[in-house]
Amino acid sequence: MTLKSLVILFCFALTLFAHESSSFKERRYSYALDKDIFFEGFITFNDASIMIEYVKPESKVLTYFEEKLSIQDDKGFWSVDAQQMPSLSYLFMIIKAVHEQNSLLLERFFDATTQENQTKLLPKEAVAHVLEEVIITYQNKRLHSLHVKMKNKDRIEIEILD
């Protein structure tokens, strides 16, 4: 998986957070580059789509609709089919399941353990070739943060600010 596809993948983790627009901070670690990259933006859930608007370090809008990702930035507009990137499909599956509180879908692909305000998801065989673990932290019964560890040693941490 390329760094670009990983970046796109993790951007969508942000969609877990609310039906309305929420602000977030994101930290991505690229093992290949041995570098942290920091982002800020907003995520909005609609009935049929998820939109992520990055405002820092640069402006970019990502829209996920019907298993397609549309990307718009200062270089233009393009679309990517999520089926061509299994890791992206799995990440959106997690986002959708957490957002909709669909524990049956999560149980199909993960073994989950919950302690206090934290749920740890360990992938089953179908997902284990891409993901190592996912940790979801809640505060006052609302999503507070999402931590994803990939098999390729890349990581992403997302924190909801409001």
User: For position 17, which CATH number holds?
Assistant: 2.50.20.10
Per-residue model confidence (pLDDT) at position 10: 44
Per-residue model confidence (pLDDT) at position 46: 78
Per-residue model confidence (pLDDT) at position 96: 67
Per-residue model confidence (pLDDT) at position 80: 82
CB atoms within 10 A of CB 102: 13
Q: Are 52 and 41 in contact (CB under 8 A)?
A: yes
Q: Are 9 and 134 in contact (CB under 8 A)?
A: no
Residue 49 lies in domain: 3-160
For residue 89, the number of C-alpha atoms closer than 13 Å in the C-beta half-sphere is 11
Q: Which of 130, 59, 40 lies closest to 92 in space, CA to CA?
A: 130
Number of structural domains the chain divides into: 1
Per-residue model confidence (pLDDT) at position 88: 63
Taking only the tens of pLDDT, the chain with its 162 residues reads 444 443 444 444 443 444 468 899 999 999 999 999 999 999 887 777 778 899 999 999 988 888 788 889 999 998 888 777 676 667 767 776 777 777 888 889 999 998 999 999 999 987 898 899 999 998 887 778 989 999 999 998 999 898
Q: What are the residues whose beta carbons fall under 8 Å from the beta carbon of 152, sequence distance 6 or more?
A: 1, 6, 31, 32
Q: Which of 108, 154, 115, 107 lies closest to 136 in space, CA to CA?
A: 115
Per-residue model confidence (pLDDT) at position 7: 41
Greatest extent of the chain over all pairs of C-alpha atoms, in Å: 44
Range list of H helices, the chain: 3-11, 86-99, 103-109, 125-128
Per-residue model confidence (pLDDT) at position 157: 93
Per-residue model confidence (pLDDT) at position 2: 45
